[in-house]
A and B are shown apart, each in its own frame.
Chain A
Amino acid sequence: MTKKISLGVAGQKKMYTAFLIAAVILFVLTSVYTNFNPMTLVKNGDAFWSFITEDFLPPALPKASRIPGVLSSVLVTLALALSATTIAAIFAFFIALFGSEKVSPFPKFAKVVRGFATFLRNIPALVWAFILFSSLGIGTGVGFAALFITSLAFMVRAFVETMEDVSQDCVESLLAVGASFPQRVSQAILPSCLNGFLSWFLYCIEVNIRASTIVGMVGGGGVGLTLFTYIKGFQYDVALSIILLIAAMVIVVDRITGRLRKEISK
């Protein structure tokens, strides 16, 4: 082994330089490959600007007869995100119990469980949606399934990490007491990790509100689909007000989850 870089100032400077050099090289390589020139954005600036001012502004309301439909599509998006996350969380809890060597009664299978979760998680939700659309057809149910799969995988990993961080010690002490696996789960893991689980659950809700909008765009229904229809129909001013609606929805949900998180950790 060569000499280790200490945590001193010199080491940090080296990391700086390495990071900068890597960034510059990557920048040049990717710019050349994609042929991306920020100047084209500036050059097209006028057209871009006039497009925004003329086509998008001011935001217009959809036809009065359509408004209830738009609002109910927002509800669909919210309902989709909430139900998929909750049900995924319940399943994730039971799967996560078998995903940690230190907690699971079958430590040899823990790697398999985690590997499966990694596989599910590293394929984006929208790709899942497409795979499911081609097998199950289009509809809210499929949007639900796509969200369910990715949130399940995400929460399995998050829950396993929480359990290994928080409850390893008390699981050991209950093992020594002679407690059975269900007893260890209900008396040690659940009470000590519940706050952590709920906090991850809230984070997952935040992510899924956005994801369910997107999944909706390609066929899962909800406000995403509404937006997509207006854009495809060149009604950009209406689309803008829907975008504002989506933003409002996301901000409100973020505020609520932030508040809930504070209450839970009290």
Chain B
Amino acid sequence: MAEILKFENVSKHYSNGVHALEHVNFTVNEGEFISVIGPSGSGKSTILRSINKLISITDGHIYLDGVSVSQQKGKNLRELRRKVGMIFQNYNLVYSLSVIQNVLHGCLGYMNGVKGVCGLYSEEDKKKALALLEELGMESFANNRASDLSGGQKQRVGIARAIMQEPKLLLCDEPIASLDPSSAKTIMDLLRSMTSKRGIACIVNLHQLDVAVKYSTRIIGLSKGEIVFDGAPEALTDERIERIYGTSRENLMIGASAND
């Protein structure tokens, strides 16, 4: 399997003295579905945002498809970013635009000049966007305003926008943290099926340990900016969970510990 992403000794120190990442090393291969878990403030979000340089790292190298991310600027950076789709906790849609316009934002990275600025998308792109919405069960909402959707529907639009980019890698920053359990399940199922169908590698930040274990092919555990676990979900023993979260497994499950 081809290697898509490589972290080489990456560190990130914020100017206020916080060390968000310390000597992080890992690689991601095509088709992997990786969950990044860890307590709040352990650097999950920093890892994700450093991959597409929404945050610049202080030390080390990140190679995306063999290209070093930290040296990219301007046009090259934009071309690099469009290989990486991203899904956000707060959906980050433009709520005053229609659903399909939000999906079409995914192809802005491929457009140049006046067309991109004015939002004159090609008919082919529009068809593709509609097909994606249909795949996500959202085709009847295409011309609705994005602000009128429910949380789960907004996140589906977020997924469509990211897939629209034809990315090689999908980053999901707490995609289900603002959703109710049933929409959360729909979103995770969709993420899993859409990425495996297209062979897109996916990195998901998660708070829910059980979700991470159920869906991912590999789990990375972070604690205070360092990787303390990297392996298959089956290898995630209680002892290792305690090492990640600094507390036992029972304390992480709200009333669900009896079930497993």
A contact set with B: CB distance below 8 Å: 167, 169-170, 172-180, 182-183, 185-188, 191-192, 194-195
Contact = CB atoms under 8 A, between A and B. Distances in A.
The B interface, classified by DSSP as helix, strand, loop or mixed, is mixed
Contact of B108 (A187, A192, A194): A187
Contacts of A185: 117
Nearest to B78: A178
Contacts of A170: 92-95
Minimum-distance CB pairs A-B, first 5: A178-B109, A178-B82, A173-B92, A178-B81, A176-B86
Nearest to B75: A180
Given A172-B54, A173-B92, A177-B82, A191 B108 contact: no
A176 B116 CA distance: 16
Interface of B: 52, 54, 77-82, 84-86, 88, 90, 92-97, 101, 105-106, 108-109, 111, 116-119, 158, 161, 165, 171
Contacts of A172: 54, 88, 92
B116 A177 contact: no
A188 to B, nearest CB: 5
Contacts of A182: 116-117
Given A183-B116, A186-B119, A187-B105, A176 B94 contact: no
Contacts of A173: 86, 88, 92-93, 105, 158, 161
B95 A176 contact: no
30 contacts: A169-B88, A170-B92, A170-B93, A170-B94, A170-B95, A172-B54, A175-B54, A176-B171, A177-B81, A177-B109, A177-B165, A178-B77, A178-B78, A178-B79, A178-B80, A178-B82, A178-B108, A179-B78, A179-B108, A180-B108, A182-B116, A183-B108, A183-B116, A187-B105, A187-B117, A187-B119, A188-B105, A191-B97, A194-B96, A195-B96
A56 B77 CA distance: 71
Contacts of B92: 169-170, 172-173
Nearest to A169: B92
